[in-house]
Chains A and B, each alone.
Chain A
Amino acid sequence: MIHVQHLTKAYGAFRAVDDLSFTVAPGEVVGLIGPNGAGKTSTLRCIVGIHAPTAGTVTVGGCDIVAQPVDAKRRIAFMADEPQLFEYLTVMEHLRLTARLYRVGDVEARAKTLLDELQLAGKEHALPGELSRGMKQKVAIACGLLHDPQALLFDEPLTGLDPLGIRHMKETIVSRGRRGGAVIVSSHLLHLVEEICTRIVIIDHGVKIADGTLEELKARPDLAAAGSSLEQIFLTATARES
């Protein structure tokens, strides 16, 4: 579903992402992890079309994000770490706008289901300024899920959520994967990645340093001594690279 091939993103002389390649198949939940400044957010932003890749290609559902951006974006939902909402639109207006942009016909019914699922019922007429950070995050997620995307990208999805919200978020990510969505989760919360991801990609300095299931990573000769937890594997892998 998501194919990232030889992706490079440079800001001037600085290469945030350097020749990165990986794929995410339908039904997979891939954890994209790395230290601060590793290039995780740049990678996600290139995949969803916010940044233009300096080199390489990204295709989503067979559509190139540069050559066919509209078709590719119609298949994607991106949940940024900081919820991006229009301060002057209410929750319901955000959903209606999203529905029109993504051509979702039964917006009212879908919106109601999503708002109930995300405990936003009763907040339909609230402006973002009247919502807590966690609720804004949920509104952004509702907008992202409204068009039933085939590819979902989450950047630090648990930030600002309460315990119940965290549980719901984890369930949402896992269920989207089970329903055939290709999911990428970027997070520093390694226990979350370990818990919900079917595969893990570790990057550092923009370069991929590990890619596989947790079992495959544990079995790698260079990481075998690290231990059994993802945290130990991550620290060993990134320490060696730096």
Chain B
Amino acid sequence: MFWTFLYVTRCSMTNRLRRRAQRLREPRYLLGLIVGAAYMYLMLFRRGVWRPLGTAGGAMPAQLAGPMQLLGSLFLLVTAAIVWVVPGAGKPITFTRPEVQFFFTAPVTRRELLHYKLLRSQVGILISSTIVTLVMRPATLASGWMFVVGLWIVLAAVRLHLMGVALSRSGLAQHGRSALRRQWLPLAVAMGAVSIVAATVLREWPALSAMPDFETVFPELERLSQTGAAAVVLWPFRALVRLPLSPSPAAFFANFPAAFGIVALNYVWVLRADSAFEEASAEHAERQVRNPRAPRPVARGAASAPFRLAPEGRAETAILWKNLILLGRYASLRTLVAFLPVLIIFGIAAQTEGSRGITRVVATMALPLAVMAVLLGPQAMRNDLRQDLAQLALLKTWPVSGATMIRGQVLAPAVVVTAIAWLLLIVGALFGGSLRAGSTENALFLRERVSYLVAAAMLVPPLVLSQTIVQNGLAVMFPAWVAIGSSRSRGIDAMGQRLLLMAANLLALLLAALPGAIVGGGAAFAVYALTGTIPIVIPALLAAVVVLAECWAATELLGRVLDRTDVSAVDAAES
């Protein structure tokens, strides 16, 4: 059976590569490949463009190896703990619908199916390891292969562990509530391990916080992690991380048995996991086909819509309403978790400044975040035509013009991003007064805070709207280039396409902002010539009006293109 599975794996890979090669006959993919390959070359091989870790062309400096080991092992520990704490965080064994159709009905044992999935996962892990190694750019071939193989083993162990957690969970769930309660044991072990490490650090916190810099803190943290209970808890994680960071082949082979032993233990655990995983996998495969990203179910009687949609009124409002619901149904605790690193960094920054420094940190971070929201928000927030083009056939039956459709579609992301940016601007303005006296920021904020806030708030909607229109315009004019729905094309050519689109987006934004900037700038110059002062609100208002007028004109033009767009022009991305 192993050879059968190897055959399927080989055929899948070969056919995927062949399909990607065939699509290069289309100019958009060929152009994408050229741009993507050039980008990869610059990122990975041009030493003058990007310097690797370390000064000697990529060799891991001895002083970095220790901290890397410590951070790596802590990361693995926290990951192992989180997958037990967060429901559904394990990585289940997933089969595609054809795999379920062919293999689950075939005379194949459960163990053979597991081996098949493990075999398939190794391909991806090996590619990831190679890419990471290329990015790290080790100095010699020897250190290169050690890093690739070492990282491969680390990732394989992580993959096996996540599989084991998912299998154990589903196994317990199938045995009812009483069995599920038995989950407390691994949960307690995981939390206990984290607590031991945390307690060790907390115990030494006064001494650590008194140290002047990281160069002294890290050696002390390393010492702590290698003594007492923390050393025992961290040993398996350190054994894994040590392997790719081995300084020599001799050290690599010395570290290999322990790391390989951990992989083997996880492998045995996965094989012995008591779970009828076939049913879960089949159900998962069906769910993937029906809807890869299912929205959250709606609680009866809950206020699930952003506002009540009146039966009469503009169609744009109806589309806005629909797309705001889309956002609400998909945004969840997981979305908030994605922002957790930012909050943690913010919290640490606030703590290091002391309680009085919190407002300063808020003020300092709010304005850059507002700028980021304006510049990156329209690209990230895709509850518009980029999502809906997958259902273009349905949209085409609606009795609305293309321009109305475009205006309705771009409203939802524009409203949400604008609200976020406004909130950040208000926060920045409110806390801006606490900036250090005498600094440039302070001088500006104290004198003109309100007028700057109003001017910025007026500029945000047209800037966000123009970018959202550009994004949607690209989707309408080049539907084959843009990721439609939640699908994403893969490969260097697809990456090159995305780079080209990003450049086109920037260019379009500059062109859209230029007339507004000229009018606003001209007005500011004229007012200054007459009065000797610049009331910044007036130029901002004029610039905003000009860009909004451009936006309206753009929706009219794009609407005509959308009216002419054939459903067959919107093809599905590679699955």
Contacts and interface: CB of A to CB of B under 8 A. Distances in A.
A50 B398 CA distance: 10
Contacts of A76: 397
Contacts, number: 100
B294 A87 contact: yes
Contacts of A189: none
Nearest to B297: A127
A6 interface: no
B279 interface: no
Given A69-B563, A84-B391, A127-B295, A97 B322 contact: yes
B309 A97 contact: yes
Contact of B397 (A50, A52, A96, A103): A50
Interface in A44-58: 45, 48-52
Given A49-B396, A51-B566, A70-B401, A106 B326 contact: no
B38 interface: no
Most buried by A among B315, B393, B399, B567: B399
A125 B265 CA distance: 47
Contacts of A93: 304-305, 322, 325
A96 B329 contact: no
Contact of A102 (B298, B399, B568): B399
A48 B568 CA distance: 15
A104 interface: yes
Contacts of B564: 52
B291 A129 contact: yes
A107 to B, nearest CB: 5
A22 interface: no
Interface string B152-190: 000000000000000000000000000000000000000
A104 B295 CA distance: 28
A76 B321 CA distance: 23
Nearest to B322: A97
Contacts of A102: 399
Contacts of B325: 88-89, 93
Contacts of A105: 311-312
A78 interface: yes
A100 B307 CA distance: 14
A85 B408 CA distance: 18
Most buried by B among A80, A89, A99: A89
Nearest to A12: B568
A73 interface: yes
Interface in A135-184: none
A44 to B, nearest CB: 11
Contacts of A100: 309-313, 315, 317-318, 321
Contacts of A104: 311
Nearest to A76: B397
A84 B307 CA distance: 24
B290 interface: yes
A130 B295 CA distance: 11
A74 interface: yes
B400 interface: yes
A239 interface: no
A86 B383 CA distance: 12
Contact of A101 (B294, B297, B315): B315
B401 A87 contact: no
B563 A88 contact: no
B398 A96 contact: no
Contacts of B203: none
B283 to A, nearest CB: 13
Nearest to A90: B298
B399 A97 contact: no
Interface residues of A, number: 39
A137 to B, nearest CB: 14
Contact of B300 (A45, A96, A99, A125): A125
B330 interface: yes
Contact of B311 (A48, A49, A106): A106
A42 B313 CA distance: 33
B106 to A, nearest CB: 27
B295 A129 contact: yes
B529 interface: no
Interface string A203-239: 0000000000000000000000000000000000000
Contact of B329 (A88, A106, A107): A88
Contact of A88 (B313, B326, B398): B326
B298 A86 contact: no
Interface in B516-575: 563-564, 566-568
Contacts of B297: 127, 129-130
B321 A97 contact: yes
B328 to A, nearest CB: 8
Most buried by B among A70, A74, A100, A125: A100
Contacts of B298: 90, 125-127
Nearest to B310: A100
A129 B294 contact: yes
A69 B401 contact: yes
A11 B568 contact: yes
B210 interface: no
B184 to A, nearest CB: 32
A242 B318 CA distance: 48
B558 to A, nearest CB: 16
A242 B100 CA distance: 38
Contact of B322 (A48, A71, A89): A89
Interface in B459-481: none
Interface string A178-203: 00000000000000000000000000
B484 to A, nearest CB: 15
B401 to A, nearest CB: 6
Interface string B363-399: 0000000000000000000000000000101101111
Interface string A26-65: 0000000000000000000100111110000000000000
Nearest to A73: B399
B391 A73 contact: no
Contacts of B401: 69-70
Contacts of A88: 295, 325-326, 329-330
A51 B567 contact: yes
Contacts of B568: 11, 51
A70 B313 CA distance: 15
Interface in A108-134: 125-127, 129-130
Given A87-B294, A125-B298, A49 B397 contact: yes
Given A72-B399, A93-B325, A125-B301, 16 more contacts: A49-B397, A51-B567, A80-B393, A84-B391, A86-B326, A87-B294, A87-B295, A88-B326, A89-B322, A96-B311, A100-B309, A100-B310, A100-B312, A125-B300, A125-B304, A129-B290
Sorted from nearest, which 10 A-B pairs have the closest CB atoms? A73-B399, A100-B318, A84-B394, A88-B329, A88-B295, A74-B399, A50-B396, A88-B326, A125-B300, A107-B311
14 contacts: A48-B396, A69-B401, A70-B399, A87-B294, A97-B321, A100-B318, A101-B318, A101-B399, A102-B399, A107-B311, A125-B299, A125-B300, A129-B297, A130-B297
